[in-house]
A and B are shown apart, each in its own frame.
Chain A
Amino acid sequence: MSYRRPYRGTQPDYLFPPYASTVKRAPSQPLVVLPHTLSELTAPVFGYSDINPDDNDLTRQHKGEPLGERIVVSGRVLDENSRPLEGLLIEIWQANAAGRYNHRVDQHDAPLDPNFTGAGRAITNSEGRYRFVTIRPGEYPWRNHYNAWRPAHIHFSLFGPAIVTRLITQMYFPGDPLLEYDPMFTCVPDEKARNRLISLFDWETTIPEHALGYRFDIVLRGREATPMETPR
């Protein structure tokens, strides 16, 4: 039993010189192909007892309301065989509405928001669904190249059923003009794979007179189909 290897072009390589930090950090020696043993096919289990019920609402972590546009970000987590993944821990973090992170390394000249930390957590339900309430993060400059700006994004970290399904990614917003200039976005050779990182505006989850809804579905690696095991 093992997990499917990535389709060509759907995952970035380690070395991508337009993203300057990869140059000194990407491995240069050939990777050793790892068989999927019990160590790779298992993973830690998390549950509702690991988080607080309000951890998925980033707008209610302080006395006042954060500044910015309130949004609902929700979606499903499935594996490549379309199986919903229940009980997964999702961790998110993001900049505030002004494009500033609540982090000592971030020196961008934009205001911090005392009512916004920018971190959230959720556990997927039996249909693989999750939901966060937050504010739309701002775009911000970085020093990768001249006049470099990151498109608005939310960082997502997921634990799957196996160590080899662990995923950290970023969710983007539809219509963001900065995407085509962003080496983190363009590092993915396959255009369709890249575009799946862009959330969809969603009427269904938009709350009237309160918050716009964005949908972001996530797919984790699935097991290879074997004669013993037909994918659902």
Chain B
Amino acid sequence: MSLRATTSQTIGPYLRIGLEWMVIEDLAPQGVPGERVRIEGRIVDADGKPVNDAAVEIWQANSHGKYASAEDAQSNPLDSVFRGYGRSLTDDAGNFRFRTIKPGRVPGPEGSTQAPHVTVTIFMRGLLKQLQTRIYFADDPANAEDPVLALVPVERRPTLIAKKRADGALEWNVVLQGRNETVFFDF
């Protein structure tokens, strides 16, 4: 006899009360191996208005392509202080930010290998369930053979790729609806 999953409900406008205690914008303390990256972005709605009440959560492998999760049975090493989880709550301008390391490559379906990517889960007032998306890294040659990017229409792929800014940060914005709408996944 199988049960049915509980229904999702919106996070509502008062998410800070419950989620602010565990904001983690700096995922990789000193000593964690890997290429340091800053990921910054902004969430806007259908009218281009900033979304100031969103929770953005990221999940990623370490630089060896290993997830700090019991479900990852690979033998590559864990980094004891790197959990791979981040949470940022958008500010009045709709901005979120993370400092982390670029993840290594992880296995994909049917023997493939995925390009380095960060998994993104977004909650906000007006979303009855979370949005699921991904961040890939500009100029990574592995993007060309990534099995998930390959499922996305070519013209929409750029919405999943963080671009290097002059100040060195990687910029990745979220457009909820309309022109240049970010690709969201049915997960």
Contacts and interface: CB of A to CB of B under 8 A. Distances in A.
B50 to A, nearest CB: 12
Nearest to B152: A32
Chain A: interface residue count, which band?
35 or more
B99 interface: no
B154 to A, nearest CB: 12
B127 A22 contact: yes
A79 to B, nearest CB: 8
Contacts of A21: 125-126
A178 interface: no
Contacts of A218: 6
Given A24-B176, A91-B18, A155-B11, A39 B117 contact: yes
18 contacts: A12-B9, A26-B126, A35-B148, A35-B151, A37-B114, A37-B147, A42-B59, A42-B72, A44-B68, A103-B17, A157-B18, A164-B132, A167-B8, A168-B130, A169-B8, A169-B9, A196-B6, A197-B9
B8 to A, nearest CB: 6
A7 interface: yes
Interface string A8-23: 0011111010010111
A118 B16 CA distance: 11
Contacts of A25: 45-46, 51, 124-127, 176-177
A169 B61 CA distance: 27
Interface stretch (A62-70, A187-195, A201-209): A187-195
A211 interface: no
Contact of B106 (A6, A37, A78): A37
A28 interface: yes
A27 B17 contact: no
A42 B71 contact: yes
A34 B7 contact: no
A38 B11 contact: no
Contact of A11 (B7, B83, B178): B7
Given A32-B183, A37-B107, A103-B14, 8 more contacts: A36-B187, A42-B71, A91-B19, A103-B13, A155-B11, A163-B59, A168-B10, A170-B10
Which of B15, B18, B114 has the most chain A CB atoms closer than 10 A to its own CB?
B18
Nearest to A155: B18
B97 to A, nearest CB: 19
B8 A11 contact: yes
B32 to A, nearest CB: 15
A44 B85 contact: yes
Contact of B17 (A7, A26, A117, A184): A117
A222 interface: yes
B123 interface: yes
A36 B108 CA distance: 9
A139 to B, nearest CB: 14
